[in-house]
């Protein structure tokens, strides 16, 4: 299974160019699309989900043309958008049954078995009779996955799935997504670096509608070894450090600032070498240190 995107562009009527000549090859497994809000992630996800057409370019999932064969693509597609509505006074079980009928699961016995399997898979079986208005944010996200999984899709799209979840719900949700990636193409669109780091075997970084980097996360991190430096400073020194060095990120630590710097050589005796993490890949790429080159690795099997 493979999703092939070639030279996709999209400009909205207000003149905003959401995507510029985007090309990606997305294999089976978990694939992370990482970028800030407004980078073009959601536009690309809606196109893959057949909800929008590109101005130019092509998209193919296996033998299907995503642009011209929307009906066939939708039969094998699961989509969890960033925001989706539910009927708060309806139980999860009843609403899932409604969607199952819309998906074409008309045989009652099959539908009942499917609903039970999905609610157990998403850990919602014990609260299946509860009205959706009483669900927590994480429970609602897992219910959205249950809907997206109807019909056993081979292409799953999840857009900003962990935004607003508490740590425990986030872990449960990520574990669920990881299981889904074993048998299908799952695209995780997010601005949260940790989600990609923990789940995805391949990723792309997008900003202002352009792909800045495509890589295997572990290999991209390895490429930064020897180039990330760390220094703990008082807040008052931050403007000077930013003026003298290429600061890619800062974090507060006990009232002081931890500044991480990108440099091919040691930036000074007050800095210590830091073990790079995926967050460093993201910030250094956004700062232009990859020179917009693609960190290519061996194609996924």
Give the model confidence (pLDDT) of 69-124 as tens digits.
999 999 899 988 877 777 899 999 999 999 999 888 989 999 999 999 999 988 89
Q: Which bin fits 42, alpha (ψ -120 to 50), beta or left (φ > 0)?
A: alpha
Q: How far apart are CA 251 and CA 224, in angstroms?
A: 19
CA angle (195 as vertex; 190, 196 as ends), nearest 5: 80
Please tell us whether the domain made up of 2-217 is placed in CATH 3.90.1300.10: no
How far from 42 is each of 8, 39, 187, 222, CA to CA, in Å?
14, 8, 11, 29
Note the pLDDT of residue 64: 96
Note the pLDDT of residue 225: 95
Q: How far apart are CA 87 and CA 131, in angstroms?
A: 8
Domain ranges, ordered by start, for the chain: 2-217, 226-275
Is the distance from CB of 292 to CB of 217 less than 8 angstroms? no
Short-list 283, 275, 223, 218, CA closest to 248: 283
Q: Are strands 155-159 and 185-190 parallel, antiparallel or unpaired?
A: parallel
Give the model confidence (pLDDT) of 158-191 as tens digits.
888 777 778 887 887 788 888 877 788 999 998 8
Which residues does the chain have with pLDDT short of 50? 291-301
Note the pLDDT of residue 1: 87
Is the distance from CB of 135 to CB of 88 less than 8 angstroms? no
Q: How far apart are CA 150 and CA 102, in angstroms?
A: 10
0.75 cut: is pTM over it? yes
Short-list 85, 176, 54, 233, CA closest to 45: 54
Note the pLDDT of residue 104: 86
């Amino acid at each position: 299974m493979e999703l092939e995107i070639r030279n996709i562009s999209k400009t909205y009527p207000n003149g905003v160019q959401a995507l510029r000549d985007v090309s990606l090859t997305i294999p089976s497994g978990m694939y992370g699309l990482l970028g800030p809000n407004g980078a073009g992630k959601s536009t690309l996800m809606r196109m893959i989900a057949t909800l929008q057409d590109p101005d130019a370019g092509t998209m193919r999932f296996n033998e299907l043309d995503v642009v011209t064969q929307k009906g066939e693509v939708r039969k094998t597609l699961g989509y969890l958008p960033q925001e989706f509505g539910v009927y708060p006074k309806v139980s999860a079980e009843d609403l899932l049954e409604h969607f199952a009928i819309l998906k074409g699961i008309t045989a009652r016995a099959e539908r009942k078995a499917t609903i039970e399997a999905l609610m157990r898979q998403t850990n919602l079986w014990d609260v299946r009779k509860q009205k959706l208005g009483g669900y927590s944010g994480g429970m609602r996200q897992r219910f959205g996955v249950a809907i997206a999984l109807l019909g056993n899709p081979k292409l799953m799209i999840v857009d900003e799935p962990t935004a607003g979840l508490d740590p425990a719900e986030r872990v449960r949700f990520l574990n669920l997504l990881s299981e889904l990636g074993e048998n299908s193409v799952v695209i995780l669109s997010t601005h949260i670096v940790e989600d990609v780091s923990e789940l995805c075997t391949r990723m792309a970084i997008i900003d202002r509608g352009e792909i800045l980097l495509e890589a295997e996360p572990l290999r991209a991190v390895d490429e930064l070894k020897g180039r990330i430096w760390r220094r703990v400073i008082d807040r008052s020194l931050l403007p000077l450090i930013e003026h003298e060095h290429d600061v890619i990120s800062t974090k507060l630590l006990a009232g002081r600032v931890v500044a991480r710097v990108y440099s091919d050589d040691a930036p000074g005796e007050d800095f210590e070498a830091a073990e790079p993490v995926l967050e460093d890949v993201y910030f250094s790429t956004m700062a232009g240190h990859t020179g917009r080159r693609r960190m290519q690795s061996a194609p996924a099997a």
